[in-house]
């Protein structure tokens, strides 16, 4: 895969970092996007050798500029993993318009902005892989997350529609919906709450970021050429449909 250039958004921490590790190990040229913590991003880059690029995936113009720079430095981007996401949790009664718009702008709008930027290069090359990271909560909903669940559910619909557009150009578009994964975000959940979450997972444990990365690697590779418009659910059996 040494001739493939991949961007992983939200790629310096948690699931995104595991995806970067996995793709780099398979020979991809990987660039990790991040949006905030410069110190952690630079530490990640130093540790892994993966270059980082700071830009807001929810800002259309910033994405266009950043992808153009990455393509100029590394080559045409033909693998995109839309992993960046934020939460602004609260029940509908407590959620203000800004909390709603922030999550939709980054989590769903970011997928559009990134795909829009890389799609022409993939089309010209006649090959591309787009993998959008959804969520179990976009499939089954979650109390206090109408914004997050709506954005992640939108990602699944976005994936199916774009897959139909990309197929004739050799571009596959798929989604992966993780369940509860043992990341810093989940580790911050109070222990009693976490115990209740794990009790609802049939396999009896949280998932590992590396497991999600292996699923993403399959969807990015040559072996998945006949898979498009699909959502790979990796949640330990917590949600089945």
The answer to whether 12 touches 44, Cβ cutoff 8 Å, is: yes
All residues at 6 or more sequence positions from 210 whose CB lies less than 8 Å from its CB, including other chains? 18, 21, 22
Instruction: Spell 111-134 as b/e; 16+ CB within 10 A means b.
Output: bbbbbebbbebbbebebbbbbbbb
Ordered strands of the 5-8 beta sheet: 52-54, 29-34, 5-8, 77-82, 128-133, 171-178, 231-234
Residues near 107 by beta carbon (within 8 Å), at least 6 away in sequence: 84, 85, 86, 148, 151, 152, 155
Assign residue 222 a region (left: φ > 0; alpha: ψ between -120 and 50; beta: otherwise): alpha
Q: b or e along 208-229 (b: 16 or more beta carbons within 10 Å of the residue's beta carbon)? A: ebeebbebbbebbbeebeeebb
28 is catalytic: no
- Of 28, 34, 148, 180, which is the active-site residue? 148
Question: Which pair of tokens denotes residue 173?
Answer: 């578009």
H-helix segments, 81-145: 97-103, 109-125, 136-140
Q: Give the Cα separation of 64 and 67 in Å (integer).
A: 5
Residues involved in catalysis: 148
């Amino acid at each position: 895969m040494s001739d493939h250039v991949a961007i992983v958004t939200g790629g310096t921490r948690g699931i995104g970092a595991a995806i970067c590790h996995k793709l780099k190990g398979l020979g991809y040229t990987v660039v990790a996007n991040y949006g905030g913590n410069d110190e952690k991003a630079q530490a990640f880059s130093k540790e892994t050798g993966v270059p980082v690029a700071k830009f807001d995936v929810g800002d259309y113009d910033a994405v266009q500029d950043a992808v153009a720079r990455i393509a100029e430095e590394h080559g045409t981007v033909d693998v995109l993993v839309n992993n960046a996401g934020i939460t602004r949790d609260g029940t509908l009664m407590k959620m203000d318009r800004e909390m709603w718009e922030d999550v939709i702008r980054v989590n769903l709008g970011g997928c559009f902005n990134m795909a829009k930027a890389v799609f022409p290069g993939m089309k010209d090359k006649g090959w591309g892989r787009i993998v959008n990271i959804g969520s179990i909560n976009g499939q089954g909903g979650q109390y206090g997350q109408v914004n997050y669940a709506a954005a992640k559910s939108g990602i699944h619909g976005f994936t199916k529609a774009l897959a139909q557009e990309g197929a004739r150009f050799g571009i596959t578009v798929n989604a992966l919906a993780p369940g509860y994964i043992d990341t810093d975000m989940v580790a911050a959940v109070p222990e009693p709450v976490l115990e209740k979450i794990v009790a609802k997972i049939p396999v009896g444990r949280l998932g590992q970021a590396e497991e999600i990365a292996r699923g993403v690697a399959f969807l990015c590779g040559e072996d998945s050429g006949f898979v498009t418009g699909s959502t790979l659910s990796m949640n330990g059996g917590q949600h089945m449909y």
